[in-house]
Amino acid sequence: MSKFLDNFGILSHRRSGTHFLWETLNVNFDIRKPDWYLKVEGVEAFKAHCAPDQVSQFFGKDLDKFLLDYSCVYIMRDVRDTLVAAWYYWKAGAESNLDISKALKGKSFSQYIRGASIEETLSYNIDINSLWAKNYLDPIQYWIDFTKWSGYVHTIKFEDLKLKPKKVIKDFSDKFDLETKNKEYALINKLVGNLPRKGIIGDWRNIINEGDRKYIYSRAGEVMTSFGY
Phi, psi of 62 (to 5 degrees): -75, 165
Q: What is the pLDDT of residue 40?
A: 57
- Is the pTM of the predicted complex or chain greater than 0.75? yes
pLDDT digits (tens, 9 = 90+) for 16-33: 988 888 888 888 988 877
User: In sequence order, what are the beta bridge partners of 8?
Assistant: 71
* Residue 7: closest CA among 92, 67, 81, 51: 67
Query: What is 2-78+147-176's CATH topology?
Result: Rossmann fold (3.40.50)
CA-CA distance, 219 to 155, in Å (whole number)?
Answer: 22
Q: What residue ranges do the domains of the chain occupy?
A: 2-78+147-176, 80-144+195-226
Contact present, 34 and 6 (Cβ < 8 Å): yes
Segment 112-134, tens digit of pLDDT = 898 877 777 777 777 777 766 76
CA–CA distance, 110 with 207 (Å, rounded to integer): 9
158: pLDDT strictly greater than 90: yes
Measured at the CA of 81, the angle between CA 195 and CA 48, to 5 degrees, comes to: 70
